Structure 1
Amino acid sequence: MERANPPDLPAVTTTAALLRLGRILSTVSAGTVRHLARQSWQRLRGRRTTAEEWPEELSRIIERLGPAFIKFAQIASTREDVLPPRACAALKRLHDSVEPMRPQDVHQALVEHFGPDWAELLPDLRTEPLGSGSIACVYPARLRDGQQVAVKLRRPHLTDTIRRDVAILRTVFALAGRLPGLRGAPLAEMAHAVGASVLLQLDLDTEARNLALLRDDLSTLEFISVPAPVPALCGESCVVMDFVPGVRGHVGVAELSPERRRALADQTLRAVFEMLFCTGLVHCDLHPGNLRLTPTGCVVVLDAGFVYRVPDVVRENLALFFLNLGFRNGPRCAEAVLASAEQVDRHSDTAAFTADMTRLVDRFGGTTARDFDLLEFSTELFASQRRNGIYASSEFVFPLLALLMVEQTVRRLDPDVDFQAIARPIVFRAASGRPAGERRRRLETAG
């Protein structure tokens, strides 16, 4: 089965983009005016107002703007090191609590996918959603044979708007990447990756295949569960999958014991590293809404819309990079980056880049989650590449996104977790599972 990667973004006409930009500005303006008017009314009534109310209004504005904006907000909500905690908390609602589809839209989606007799296939579908995302909603149901399933239905009329929004956001992020403090951060590359993934998520048939692949790839991990799709009932606008009983909300922290927190942090990281170094099929959207917990302590991975197959050469060099980061071997880390770069020529200053990497690795190598800031690390890494004329492979953005999405979750669970130590045996196992050759020799001599 072919593992699909995010497609190239389709072209959008300037007129369409400008019209959509006008609607976006109108939505933002209306939301801002509504917020200011609400605060003024409260002051007139003698009630105290604070700036803390703004994040909630911001989440409502983003919800009205649609899926592309919601996806970027979901990523932003995981970065409590960048945004205020209250803003992150408000944006987290957008993971799976977006306003659900109207009943008539649910009925229309069922008829379009299953036909007018859909109730014979799903005799007990309840219209109260289990989760309500920006692109689709998930509903509990029962098949004719009694099997409990979850039915994921795509929202109607999304494609054109998403294409225009992605084009606009890519331009905004590219401009933002030139600002002081952000210069060097791979914002344009991330915007392209996320935008392409949003379009890919419109095809739920691809998501069903990704679910099956992830389930197979992670089957050896007892603590990870991926729902199995029902292929005969899946299609472009619908995924029917196993219903996982007892799944709780987002992976929380406060109600868990310290021992369980440490175990969850370890399990989550092992799943990500298995994907990065062993299987090559990487879930790039592991925000808290897509990580759930069962009563037995199993982590359930949901929503396989943003899944990327990392090419072998990138996976190999990424493994080298992580292994030598743990050993604080800066020159070897630089070697791994240079080996996967798209362009290194006579104008590239590889010596200066290696010196930068040595300083960076000395600073961050061997540290725990408490002291390792992946966003700062990656920004400095990309800045050095650009400063020294080394053009990094765009394929590195997808593993980076996967790690960025889980970093804050893992840090909240266990700030003392040593993710580099967790990665090391998985890297060695990945190497030993392949035939002897250049890759294995390089890994065995790392450090």
Structure 2
Amino acid sequence: MEQTSKLSTRARFAQILQILRKHHIRQGMDPVKFRRILEDLGPTFVKIGQIMSTRQDMFSERYCQELMKLRSQATPMPFEDVEKMIEKAYGKPMNQVFSSFTVIPLGSASIAQVHEAVLKDGTRVVAKVQRPYIYEWMERDVGLLRKAVKVLNLSEIVSSVVDLDMVIDEFWTAAQQEMDFTNEAKFAKRFRKTYEDCAFIDAPRIIDQYTTKEVLVMEYIDGIEINNISALKDQGYDIKEIADKLAYNYISQIIEHGFFHADPHSGNIRIRDDKIVWIDFGMMGILEDRDRQILKEAIRGLATNDVGKVVDSILAIGVTKQEIDYTAFTNTIEMFMSQYMDQSFASMDLAKMVQDIFTICHQYKISLPKGISMLARSMMTMNGTLLTLDPHSSMAQIVANHKATLTQLDLSKEATRTIKRSLEALSRSIDIPVQASDVLKLFQHGQIKVNLNLMGSDAPIAKIDRMVNRLIVCILIAALLLGSCLVCTTDMEPKILGIPLIGFLMLVVALLMGVWLFVKMFFLHRRNKAF
């Protein structure tokens, strides 16, 4: 175990403060300094940085690019700890479960490490074993980080760079899910079930009998790593065909199923028995049906150069942290699209295009759902994997080949969706009289508050101001005329021309105000003079 893991809570807190002070945290922040701080703080904070690097909608491009340099490879834990974790998980010694178990791990990360093993029945497997006390240590580090943020007022110092509270909350939620290996097992089984009828896609089989929260056991995949081009060619594989099938499958994961591998680098993809085998399902992206439909609308907008559709899609799927100037935002998106619409879809720089979209969202403080952020990062990773396979192809080119499937309508699904929306509308319409009654009651009790906010121009507000002023003058004129008529029915003294003086004056004032209003509306307004 790392030395930092053995420290007491007080000593660890002191160490965190010392590291932050060593890097002169109060003197400002830059991407390189931020990455070095996370590396010095240890595995928990490296994991935080890795999560931050995927949220390009929240953090600037400079920080995301620098944090991508963080590596999850960690010092292997002692084999004695591996044995203890397995015995704890199964309630019996390792040798009663496995006939053999390699001492040197296949890989080691901050949360767990992976070993090759053989079960008693001869099945060759991979065992992913969690580090002992990792949950308690990460929970401690997260609590100490929150305390350090308050002690050093870090939220104020780095507020222009990151929302620290948001980052900590998101990290801890993701880490808790990742530390429960039953979640990864469910993802792997769901993926395998989804593509069980696909002739060229596969995934390792999970050994449920030996899978717990701390230990994950799955089928060993002995295929060829997908970036081992020479070995693939030696086995007679067509590299271009592999690239096409891989990209097509990834598009189907996103568009058709909304369940995609969020870390599609070459180390997580094997070729075995003419099949593309995906492994390591610890990081999966999930798109809700609503998000997938909005994503399709955005793609249609890009494909048809419909700026309004792209703008509406981004605002529909994102969460705004401040008021959006719709006109300025639309102009920005229009400028963005003009850079790419003159190019063929296949020749677009997908990575730059995605990065530009996230830069715009960051500029306007629009936060995108986690699934969308993971999608953007994974698409760029997949693009690199495809370029390794076939330098003449790219993710954008594959999307271009399948653009028709993204822009066409599925009539059966559209009909089902229309019927569903109609039924929902009918159901809601039944509640309208009751809701209207409730609103009127709130009005009667003065409990309704209406905020009117017009963005993009001062002209609408000025027009409303003039309209309200004219309405007030009309009400005053009507009140004076009505009051004059009432006074004239009395014998009030003194009188002018047989009319009570007060009534006469009210009538004169009303007439003068009417003439004045008429002049302002029909003559001076033509010369655009303010009312």
Q: TM-score, normalised by structure 2?
A: 0.59
Corresponding residue of 1:339: 316
Q: Which structure has the larger Rg over C-alpha atoms?
A: 2
Counterpart CA distance in 2 for 1:17 and 1:266 is 52
Deviation at 1:297, TM superposition (A): 6.7
Corresponding residue of 1:427: 406
Structure 2: tracts of 5 or more residues without a match: 1-7, 24-31, 420-531
Matched, 1:380 2:339: no
Counterpart CA distance in 2 for 1:367 and 1:166 is 44
Corresponding residue of 1:399: 372
CA 1:420 to 1:329, structure 2 compared with 1: closer, same or farther past 3 Å? Answer: farther
Deviation at 1:267, TM superposition (A): 4.2
Kept in 2: contact 1:325–1:333 (CA 8 A) = yes
Kept in 1: contact 2:232–2:239 (CA 8 A) = yes
Corresponding residue of 2:307: 330
Matched, 1:102 2:78: yes
Counterpart CA distance in 2 for 1:115 and 1:274 is 42
Counterpart CA distance in 1 for 2:155 and 2:296 is 29
Bigger mean CA deviation after superposition, 300-309 or 127-136: 300-309
Q: Secondary structure at the match of 1:69?
A: helix
Kept in 1: contact 2:105–2:114 (CA 8 A) = yes
Q: Secondary structure at the match of 1:227?
A: coil
Counterpart CA distance in 2 for 1:439 and 1:255 is 51
Deviation at 1:129, TM superposition (A): 1.6
Letter in 2 for 1:134: S
Tell me the matched-pair count: 382
Deviation at 1:262, TM superposition (A): 5.2
Kept in 2: contact 1:329–1:361 (CA 8 A) = no
Alignment of 1:78-117 (within 5 A): 91=70, 94-95=71-72, 97-117=73-93
Letter in 2 for 1:273: I
Q: Secondary structure at the match of 1:101?
A: coil
Alignment of 1:349-388 (within 5 A): 349-365=325-341, 366=345, 368=347, 370=349, 372-373=351-352, 374-384=354-364, 386=365
Q: Whose helix fraction is larger, Structure 1's or Structure 2's?
A: 2
Matched, 1:240 2:217: yes
Deviation at 1:372, TM superposition (A): 4.2
* Larger RCO (CA under 8 A, 6+ residues apart): 1
Kept in 1: contact 2:263–2:381 (CA 8 A) = no
Corresponding residue of 1:36: none
Kept in 2: contact 1:215–1:225 (CA 8 A) = yes
Counterpart CA distance in 2 for 1:354 and 1:19 is 52
Alignment of 1:301-312 (within 5 A): 301-312=278-289
Deviation at 1:158, TM superposition (A): 1.3
Match of 1:277 among 251, 255, 266: 255
Corresponding residue of 2:160: 178
Deviation at 1:232, TM superposition (A): 2.0
Deviation at 1:61, TM superposition (A): 8.0
Counterpart CA distance in 1 for 2:408 and 2:100 is 46
For residues 230-274 of structure 1, give each alpha carbon's deviation from its aligned partner in whole angstroms, at most 9, with x where no partner exists. Answer: 1122111011111111343x74679888x9665555444434432
For residues 409-437 of structure 1, give each alpha carbon's deviation from its aligned partner in whole angstroms, at most 9, with x where no partner exists. Answer: 52443475225425635536894673525
CA 1:263 to 1:380, structure 2 compared with 1: closer, same or farther past 3 Å? Answer: farther
Corresponding residue of 2:26: none
Match of 1:23 among 15, 23, 27: 15
Counterpart CA distance in 2 for 1:431 and 1:313 is 16
Kept in 2: contact 1:281–1:309 (CA 8 A) = yes
Corresponding residue of 1:321: 298
CA 1:29 to 1:268, structure 2 compared with 1: closer, same or farther past 3 Å? Answer: farther
Structure 1: tracts of 5 or more residues without a match: 1-15, 32-54, 441-447
Deviation at 1:118, TM superposition (A): 3.5
Kept in 2: contact 1:227–1:244 (CA 8 A) = yes
Matched, 1:137 2:113: yes
Counterpart CA distance in 2 for 1:121 and 1:358 is 61
Identity level (%): 17
Counterpart CA distance in 2 for 1:85 and 1:399 is 18
Q: Secondary structure at the match of 2:116?
A: strand
Counterpart CA distance in 2 for 1:214 and 1:245 is 19
Kept in 1: contact 2:258–2:286 (CA 8 A) = yes
Counterpart CA distance in 1 for 2:142 and 2:349 is 34
CA 1:332 to 1:166, structure 2 compared with 1: closer, same or farther past 3 Å? Answer: farther
Letter in 1 for 2:370: V
Matched, 1:213 2:190: yes
CA 1:256 to 1:298, structure 2 compared with 1: closer, same or farther past 3 Å? Answer: same
Kept in 2: contact 1:330–1:361 (CA 8 A) = yes
Deviation at 1:18, TM superposition (A): 8.9
Kept in 1: contact 2:222–2:272 (CA 8 A) = no
Corresponding residue of 1:230: 207
Corresponding residue of 2:494: none
Kept in 1: contact 2:98–2:117 (CA 8 A) = yes
Corresponding residue of 1:410: 383
Deviation at 1:120, TM superposition (A): 2.3
Q: Secondary structure at the match of 2:413?
A: coil
CA 1:219 to 1:174, structure 2 compared with 1: closer, same or farther past 3 Å? Answer: farther
Deviation at 1:357, TM superposition (A): 1.9
Corresponding residue of 1:436: 415
Kept in 2: contact 1:129–1:138 (CA 8 A) = yes
Counterpart CA distance in 2 for 1:187 and 1:221 is 43
Deviation at 1:438, TM superposition (A): 5.0
Matched, 1:160 2:160: no
Counterpart CA distance in 2 for 1:202 and 1:149 is 20
Q: Secondary structure at the match of 2:92?
A: coil
CA 1:71 to 1:224, structure 2 compared with 1: closer, same or farther past 3 Å? Answer: farther
Q: Secondary structure at the match of 2:248?
A: helix
Counterpart CA distance in 1 for 2:166 and 2:399 is 25
Counterpart CA distance in 2 for 1:25 and 1:288 is 38
Counterpart CA distance in 1 for 2:219 and 2:409 is 30
Deviation at 1:397, TM superposition (A): 2.8
CA 1:416 to 1:18, structure 2 compared with 1: closer, same or farther past 3 Å? Answer: farther
For residues 299-326 of structure 1, give each alpha carbon's deviation from its aligned partner in whole angstroms, at most 9, with x where no partner exists. Answer: 4322222334322111110121123223
Q: TM-score, normalised by structure 1?
A: 0.68
Q: Secondary structure at the match of 1:123?
A: strand
Counterpart CA distance in 2 for 1:75 and 1:138 is 25
Q: Secondary structure at the match of 1:149?
A: strand
Corresponding residue of 1:51: none
CA 1:278 to 1:76, structure 2 compared with 1: closer, same or farther past 3 Å? Answer: same
Counterpart CA distance in 2 for 1:202 and 1:76 is 20
For residues 114-167 of structure 1, give each alpha carbon's deviation from its aligned partner in whole angstroms, at most 9, with x where no partner exists. Answer: 122442221122222222222111111222222211111111111233245557
Kept in 1: contact 2:184–2:282 (CA 8 A) = yes
